[in-house]
Amino acid sequence: MQKWTSRNQTSAVQTQAETGNRTTRAMWSSHGKALIVAGLVTLGSMAFASAAQAAPLMEMGSRGTDVRVLQTELSHLGYAVGPLDGIFGPKTLAAVKSFQRNDHLRADGMAGPLTQSTLDKLQAGPASERSAKIQGIVTEAKKFIGTPYVWGGTSPSGFDCSGFTQYVYASQGIELPRVSRDQAQIGSPVSASNLQPGDLVFFSFAGSGVIDHVGIYLGNGQFISATTHKGVAVYPFSPYWRHAFKGARRVL
């Protein structure tokens, strides 16, 4: 009985193989195009699966290198993610949600393929053009060191703080609102620990906390601004300025 079963199974396998080969040949001869389409669909599915594997879902509690990369990319864009430790904690969650809202994605706090691809596009954008504009802003701003402060001034003959930032950014083709409190509403928020050259830095010297002063961060803990005391000048982030600091925005 066992020998018969073995022979029967062998015969069945051979029959299935022969039938499969005949079917394949018949399909190839009469439906070659269908096979090609089916193959493309299969390859497309494989590619999609591969892409999904390349962009794993990251959410609260996730850990590892992928999370660290996510944190680094968000940090480069000015989002406060906390330490770049590869742990998807509350700060990373808040940063992901903020990024999603700013880029008109579903703000669910989960870094899936769409969120990651959007991040990648921003990271892989015209970096050289962005760097050139940032350098242009810094260089242009420094040209006016010593220019007097003029209330309402918007030209090299005299600037107020927001007139100065507006003029400098305009030199690089970037339009800013006229007053500092409106300038504080554009671009992406940046934490103090993630400031980069070209970022707008905002201050409040009124007791109400309303934004009433703006400057341009230069790097190395310094910014440039038009003030009533010195006109256009470079300042360190001294305790005086840190006390009045209310936030920063990245327009580029």
Compute the average pLDDT of residues 211-217: 98
Residues β-bridged to residue 159: 149, 154
Report, as an integer, the average pLDDT of 184-203.
92
> Predicted confidence band at 187 (pLDDT cuts at 50, 70, 90)?
confident
Instruction: Dump pLDDT digits (tens) for 39-86.
Output: 333 333 343 334 444 568 999 999 998 998 898 788 778 788 877 788
Here the tokens at position 37 are 């389409």
pTM: 0.55
Q: Return d(Cα 67, Cα 119) in angstroms, integer.
A: 13
**The predicted structure's pLDDT at residue 188:** 81
Across the range 16-34, mean pLDDT stands at 38
User: Long-range CB contacts (< 8 A, 24+ apart) of 40-48?
Assistant: none
Delimit the domains of the chain by residue range.
Answer: 2-54, 65-123, 127-250
What number is the average pLDDT over the span 171-178? 90
Residue 145's pLDDT is what? 98
pLDDT on residue 121:
82
CATH of 65-123, one of 3.30.1490.100, 1.20.120.1200, 1.10.101.10, 1.10.20.10: 1.10.101.10
Q: What is the mean pLDDT of residues 162-167?
A: 98
Question: If you ran DSSP here, which 8-state letter would residue 105 be given?
Answer: S
Would you place residue 125 in the very low, low, confident or very high pLDDT band (cuts 50, 70, 90)?
low
Task: Write the burial class of residue 173 (CB in 10 Å: 0-12 exposed, 13-18 middle, 19+ buried).
Answer: exposed
Reply yes or no on whether the pLDDT at 15 is more than 90.
no
CA angle 246, 214, 193 (to 5 degrees): 45
Q: Residue 242: pLDDT above 60? A: yes
Q: In the predicted model, is pLDDT for residue 120 greater than 90?
A: no
User: Among 22-31, 115-124, 227-236, which range has the highest average pLDDT?
Assistant: 227-236
Average pLDDT of the chain, as a whole number: 80
If one compares 231 and 55, the residue with the highest pLDDT of the two is: 231
Q: Given this model, what pLDDT does residue 124 score? A: 65
The alpha-carbon radius of gyration of the chain (Å, integer) is 30
Q: d(Cα 195, Cα 241) in Å, to the nearest integer?
A: 15
Top mean pLDDT of 70-74, 86-90, 139-143 is at: 139-143
| CATH hierarchy code of domain 127-250 | 3.90.1720.10
pLDDT reading at 33 higher than 70: no
Band of residue 95 on the pLDDT scale cut at 50, 70, 90: very high
pLDDT value at 235 more than 70:
yes
Contacts (Cβ under 8 Å, ≥6 apart) of 244: 203, 204, 205, 213
Beta bridge partner(s), residue 139: none
Residue 27 pLDDT exceeds 60: no
